[in-house]
Amino acid sequence: DSIEEDAFSNWQKEPTNVQAEFIGDRTIRVTWNDQLGIEGERYHIYSSNGVPTNSQQFATQTTYHGFVNDNTETYDIVIGPEVVSETGAVLNWYIYVTSEAQYVHINGSYEYTGLDQNEAGPIEIDITAPTRPQIITAESRGDLGIVAMEWGNLQETFETYQIWRHNGDPFEDSSISSGDEEGWELVLDDINVGLQNSATIIRNVPIANDSEQDAWYAITVCDQFNNCNQEILEGLTSNSRIIREDSRAPTVDMQLVDEEGNLYTSPSLVPGLYTVTIEVSEYLKTTPSIEVYSSGGYDETDGGELMTQTADNELDPNKGPEYAYEFRISNSEQASDLSIVMTLLDRADNQGTITNTSFKIDAQTPTISVYAPSPSSDGSKYLYGNKINLMFAAEDDVQIADLQYRFTFNYGGLTGSTSTSPWANAEGITDVNGDGSSLVSDMEFSAGTFDAGQHAITVRALDTAGNQRTAQVVFVVDFCRNNLQGETVCAFEEELKPEPEPEIITPSMSEPPYVLVWIAVGVNVIIFIVALLIVQVSLSGPKRRKKGDDDEDDDWMSEFIGTTQDVDMDDITGTGSAAAVKKEEEKKSESNEPDEDDPFAVNVVQRKTRRKKKIEEEDDD
């Protein structure tokens, strides 16, 4: 027989100590203690709205939220945006935690829904955002560097407020915006007033230094459960306001006008009537004051006077208000620095003090000094290939406006016609003091650009009042070279010398030309003597040794001289019949007579030897 086991009848199958709390942010936190006696169970969380349910209606009157495994004992129910309070009142919820056993039962796992000890409630749930706050006043305080804001207290419990800023136009497309839209910047957060029950709340928002712009400011609120109303509306009775952030002191565009009404641009003031005109960058709370005085004792305003408004320009958004003030400089004023001080206060209580020290009372002409080039009076001159350095300096009690120079070519007309170049602005200028009161110019020119001769350079300095001073230096440029005698000859110096008188030169017999002549004469005499000796020797030549010698020996003088009347080319060249005869004679000569040199044989193309004749065996008788 089978036996049915019943492990469920008399067993409490629920968790104990179920608790639930609304913690804000649309979240309910549920906690419990796991049931005893089993392991591996699963816990399911449910809720019902308004009234508790029972086990019979549990499936139809509850909302399922999720489950966790054993040993967790906590679960957060997050209320979705679809859940709302139609009236704005709090909601009352009941929370249920059931247990599901995972071991095998007749029908699988088992979830007990008896609802004996597993519920908590009612739980008050506040998911309704507060109403929008309303801005009462908002203004920029530039002197304090803040925007001061005041709005109405909503009298919520422990609510917090937020202040937003938008530098653009959040209502360009619609009159409704939100703090989470692009462009809004949270500048103050968590303004917690606690239980404060005052009618209004005041807070100050710091603004950046030197800031001047239009910006939208808005107030939003969150209650103690973090239900936030981020909606921002446009309008004077809403929670937003456009404010002119202004922490920048007013500025001016200043001009000085002379008594003819012309703009005065020179920094130096000569005696006359002047008018200070200004255009202010923004509208002022009060009329600006002005002081005009100098370091030399001049004081036109004696502590300050109010300027006169000449135009408000309210209808011109591109211009600010305009003011003017007149003052006079007399002939007796000393040269000194002039100060013009103006004090202005704008509508945001930013005070600006503008001081202008760019003008001076001028009473002196500038001074000028030339350091180079070296003057010709010092005996110096510049040669072709050299650089001519021009260095000069000028000083003024106020300011030098221009340094200029020009050249005078062939100065004095010593070597040609004189010409002058136009004034040119100096280059290579150094501002010694940094204020234009002392300037030094340093330039170089090539000496090759000048003709050889005397030239002059003139420099001048002009101050800002139109006073000027000039200086001049005369210098010499020359072209020098060495002549054959090793002397240095300079073109300009030579041109200045008078024409030399003709010099008669009478050379002596020992001068170099005459020495050469004597040598040539001596050589010719020697040659003549040698020629005579040769002729004498030739006339006293040897006699014939025997009569009847061959014809070639008839005239030994001809052989000495080297010529003959009958020239035999075959004999000279050693060819033809003459060659055969000659060879036969040579054989006979070689066999009968010893060799003997003939120093006078010149016309035979062979070794010069004296021919031997056959000695006849005859007496000379």
Each residue of 425-455: pLDDT tens digit?
999 999 999 988 899 999 999 988 888 889 9
Domain 367-481 adopts which CATH fold? Answer: Immunoglobulin-like (2.60.40)
Q: Is the pLDDT of residue 460 over 80?
A: yes
* Residue ranges, CATH 2.60.40.650, the chain: 367-481
Mean pLDDT of 347-368: 88
Answer CATH for 135-246 from 3.90.470.20, 3.20.20.70, 3.40.1160.10, 2.70.50.50: 2.70.50.50
Contact in structure between 11 and 36 (CB atoms under 8 Å): no
Tens of pLDDT, residue by residue over 272-308, are: 899 999 999 999 999 999 999 998 889 988 889 999 9
Look up tokens 């003088």; give the residue.
557
Question: For residues 406 and 423, what is the distance between their CA atoms, to the nearest angstrom?
Answer: 5
Helices (H), 281-421: none
Band (618; pLDDT cuts 50, 70, 90) = very low
Question: For residues 79 and 223, what is the distance between their CA atoms, to the nearest angstrom?
Answer: 17
The pLDDT, as a whole number, for residue 107 is: 64
Nearest 5°: the CA angle 586, 587, 589 is 60
* 8-12, 141-145, 231-235, 265-269: least confident range: 8-12
The pLDDT, as a whole number, for residue 499 is: 67
* Residue ranges, CATH 2.60.40.10, the chain: 16-125, 252-361
The pLDDT, as a whole number, for residue 616 is: 44
CATH superfamily ID and name for 252-361: Immunoglobulins (2.60.40.10)
Q: Is the pLDDT of residue 620 over 50?
A: no
Q: Is the pLDDT of residue 313 over 60?
A: yes
The pLDDT, as a whole number, for residue 338 is: 92
How many CA atoms lie within 13 Å of 271's alpha carbon, on the beta-carbon side?
6
Report residue 372: phi and psi, to 5°.
-155, 145
Contact in structure between 156 and 130 (CB atoms under 8 Å): yes
Structure tokens at 418: 């004189």
Mean pLDDT of 224-239: 90
User: Which pairing describes strands 146-152 and 200-206: parallel, antiparallel, or unpaired?
Assistant: antiparallel
> Would the pTM of this model clear 0.85, i.e. be above it?
no
DSSP 534: H
The pLDDT, as a whole number, for residue 615 is: 43
Higher pLDDT, 583 or 103: 103
* Residue ranges, CATH 2.70.50.50, the chain: 135-246
Domain 16-125 adopts which CATH fold? Answer: Immunoglobulin-like (2.60.40)
Tens of pLDDT, residue by residue over 394-436, are: 998 778 889 999 999 999 888 778 999 999 999 999 999 998 8
